[in-house]
Each structure stands twice: as C-alpha cells, then as structure tokens.
Amino acid sequence: MIRKVTTLAAFLVAAPALAALLVNGAGATFPFPLYSKWFSAYNKLNPEMQFNYQSIGSGGGIQQITAGTVDFGASDAPMSDAELLKAPDLLHIPTAMGAVVVTWNLPSVKALKLTPDVLADVFLGQVTKWNDARIAKENPGVTLPDQSIAVVHRSDGSGTTAIFTDYLAKVSPAWKTAVGAGKSVKWPAGLGAKGNEGVTGQIKQIPGAIGYVELVYAQENKLPSAALKNRAGKFVEPTIASTSAAAVGAQIPADMRVSLTDAPGAEAYPIASLTYLLVHKNQTDAAKGKALVEFLWWAIHDGQKLAAPLYYAPLPAPVVTRDEALVKSITVEGKPVSLGRG
C-alpha cells in the first residue's frame, strides 16, 4: 500500500499529465460486457490504470496484437499455427467461458432434447419436419406438430458460428464434408440474420424456427434452450455450471489452444468454449507490463466472481491453476513480476 502511494506520488510529481496509465486492447465482441465490467471495477481499485478496449471482433484483435498496435488482444477462437508464427511469443490466457444454445419457436413445446446427429441433419436441411421420427424418439411425451422446420443462422462472421459449426463438424461426418467449420460458412439451409438479436428476432417471428445464440444472450432474454446429448450420452441443459464443466474433464494442451466442443464428462454441455486474452510473454514497457500482469492476476481470481451475474461461465479451478502459471511466466524487461496479492 505504501509502495503504491509512493509510486503514485512519484507519478504525480514527475509528470502530472501521465498520472493515468492507459492500456489499449482490441478484439472479441462476445466477452465485451464482461471485460468492460472488469475494466471499470479494476479502475476503481487502481485509479491510475485505465483501459481502452475496442470490440472489433476476434479477427481484428489477432491482427492488432500481431501488428503491435495494442497492448493486449482478445479472441474467442485460439489463433491458428500460421497466425502464431507471425507473433510466436503471444500467450493465450483463458478468461471466461461461453456456450452456444439451440433455441426454437414452437409454443406447444416447452422443452426439447436433441441428439448431435439430429441437430446436424436439421441444419443440413435433411430433417425438415418437427414431427420427424428421429426428433420424436428422444422426446417422449412431447407433442411435436406437423410443421416445417425453418433454420435460422448467423449471417455475420462470428465466433458463435465458429463454435457451433466446429461442434457439428465433430459430431457429424456429413456436416464436416458438406459444410465444415468457420466464422462464415456456406449454409445448406435456412435464413441468415445479423447478430444474436437478429437471429432471435427471426426465430420469435417464424413459427417452427430453430437457431443458435450465445448462452449469455439466451439467458438474458429467457429463451427456451434445448438439452443436447453430450459425449457421455447424457442430455445436458446449457447452464453456467454445465458450461464450466466442459473445461474440467477436457485435455487442454500447454498453450491452452483447445476446442472444448463435444467435451467428455457427464455434466459437460457439448457446445462450450473458452475466450482468451492475448498478451506478449515478453513485455517491453516496464510500467504497462507490470500493470497488465497484475490485472490478469486479478481477472482470473477476483474477476471470475463478476462473470456469473453477467451469465458468463467462470473458469473451473483446474483452468485457473493453469492460468496462474501462464501469468507468472510473463516477463517485464526480462524479469518476472512479483505477484504479492492473489
């Protein structure tokens, strides 16, 4: 505390105009509400540190941190090997988890269970009626109407689509060959709508529609969400707990670049993912580097408590432990940062 006061005093004496330490970041839009909460909460604790975060999308975040125009990047999908080659000292620090929820519009159907192959075939346009025998088989007791299924998907390139199609490509060989996975794909069926709100708007309007949105958005708007059969063979509802569970049993490599879809574990929801902050392992600016490391430490500990109220899934304990090691490995001007508080 005393040291903090003296550094602050030194700052004030030396250069009053530079009293604020501005850290720039750019990237993913999905975690933006959580990050802006973090930035304002952290700024209250450390008034000298200010954040400027541009939510320009994961692709833009990767480009900007690679080009060195920002101090940290943010991405929903891990960087590819080719991207990492251009900036080999970037660390992927998982900060929170998200999930993709399948939602629908059938007033008579309050709960829905779907198996991976049926879900893939619906989005391939091969299962076209709600009362299809394959849907009915998993939903005994539910009256499914003789109605056409209208598929709604995202039209804008998005991490949500990347995670959803990554899952479908894992569970359905037909999807993998016909469509594949990516932020924008060639959809075999349905309508495209912009953003979570666009997809939700279309689904609410078209009777018999089915689509996918982020867990955060589905929970905020109280949308119905389908229980999906996970790899362990259990039907799991998308919740904050079942999303966090997806990262518990998964094999996560040392660099944390992993796809958590179709994760093992009886409680794991199958369309979950990590979202990352991207920071350089070797920080060259002494003041900024130290401040950034301290912020990351705070984010993976105290910051996690702010996640659930905003419907983000907090990191499970094993991932936090891995994160701690990563954050400690960051060096500022060649030296590690001592992290007293935790």
For another protein, the binding residues (CB under 8 A) are: 56-60, 62-63, 83, 148, 150, 155-159, 179-187, 190-194, 198, 201-202, 205-206
CB of 59 to another protein, least distance (A): 5
CB of 159 to another protein, least distance (A): 8
Question: Which residue lies nearer to another protein by CB, 169 or 215?
Answer: 169
According to the 3-state scheme, what is the secondary structure of the chain? CHHHHHHHHHHHHHCHHHCCEEEEEEECCCCHHHHHHHHHHHHHHCCCEEEEEECCCHHHHHHHHHHCCCCEEEECCCCCHHHHHHCCCEEEEEEEEEEEEEEECCCCCCCCEECHHHHHHHHCCCCCECCCHHHHHHCCCCCCCCCECEEEEECCCCHHHHHHHHHHHHHCHHHHHHCCCCCCCCCCCCEEECHHHHHHHHHHHCCCEEEEEEHHHHHHCCCCCCEEECCCCCEECCCHHHHHHCCCCCCCCCCCCCCCCCCCCCCCCCCEEEEEEEEECEECCHHHHHHHHHHHHHHHCHHHHHCHHHCCECCCHHHHHHHHHHHHCCEECCEECCCCCC
Question: Which residue lies nearer to another protein by CB, 214 or 294?
Answer: 214
Question: Which residue lies nearer to another protein by CB, 63 or 225?
Answer: 63
CB of 192 to another protein, least distance (A): 3
CB of 190 to another protein, least distance (A): 7
Q: At what angle do helices 286-300 and 317-328 cross, to 10 degrees?
A: 170
Question: Which residue lies nearer to another protein by CB, 47 or 180?
Answer: 180
Question: Which residue lies nearer to another protein by CB, 75 or 103?
Answer: 75
For 40, 102, 157, 182, the CA distances from 201, given in Å and listed in that order, are 31, 14, 18, 23
CB of 41 to another protein, least distance (A): 28
CB of 119 to another protein, least distance (A): 19
CB of 28 to another protein, least distance (A): 10
- Are the C-beta atoms of residues 267 and 236 closer than 8 Å to each other? yes
CB of 17 to another protein, least distance (A): 34
Question: Which residue lies nearer to another protein by CB, 137 or 204?
Answer: 204
Question: Which residue lies nearer to another protein by CB, 151 or 296?
Answer: 151
Question: Which residue lies nearer to another protein by CB, 180 or 336?
Answer: 180
